[in-house]
Amino acid sequence: MYEPPHFRQDDLSAQHALIRTFPLGLLITCAADGPVANSIPFQLIEDDGEKGLLRCHLARANAQWRGIGEGCPVLVVFQGVDSYITPSWYETKRETGKVVPTWNYATVQVRGPARLVEDAGWLLRHVSALTDRHEAGRPEPWAVTDAPETYIEAQIKGIIGIEIEIAAITGKWKVSQNRPAADSAGVADGLAKGRGGSSGAAMAQMVRDYARPTVK
């Protein structure tokens, strides 16, 4: 991933937080006829290893797991909030006009060795933990045990687990840190006023958090 120094996010806790908040990752592997990519919900185990561990599962009908079984390298991309940034929000536009549009975003990429898991007990624990994580907070959370046991057993037979050791993790927070303080303030204000789409408010806060200090 291309990472200019001012956009690098090396804080592991921040990287993990993005994965927790946006757990639908893009699993990218190789195949004989080229790259393969599927969007998969991941479970992050933060305290396993130096950088953590990822778990997910694929349908057995999805041939991507076969490449993993053959030792294919694995890349997982997690996309956080993003927003189009119009140059009209920049103070520099009014001063010199020398501005262009851009896109702000936060993303994390994970690489590491992967292994397949076919053990039914492991798979049941994994899907139960994944379900509990995303049902938490609902008035009447659904649990795997709410479904008939024989039905769940049949569903488990149709999936295969994947466990990825996080050997390398990189983060990129492109949130206007390269702009003068007046420009990033204008970006945050524009986003906060609802002009940045559904993720505008979250991106506005990120811009404020990472803005250059105002020179006095």
Render pLDDT for 141-198 as a digit per residue (tens, 0 to 9).
Answer: 999 999 999 999 999 999 999 999 999 999 999 999 999 999 999 999 999 987 656 7
The model's confidence at residue 214, banded by pLDDT at 50, 70 and 90, is low
pLDDT tens-digit map of 47-88:
998 999 999 999 999 999 998 887 778 999 999 999 999 999
Side-chain half-sphere CA neighbours of 162 within 13 A: 32
Q: How many residues does the chain have?
A: 216
Look up the CATH architecture of domain 5-84+103-176. Answer: Roll (2.30)
- Beta bridge mates, 114: 164
Exposure string of 125-143, with b = 16+ CB inside 10 Å and e = fewer, is ebbeebbeeeeeeeeeeee
* Per-domain residue ranges of the chain: 5-84+103-176
In this prediction the pTM is 0.92
Residue 211, pLDDT score: 83
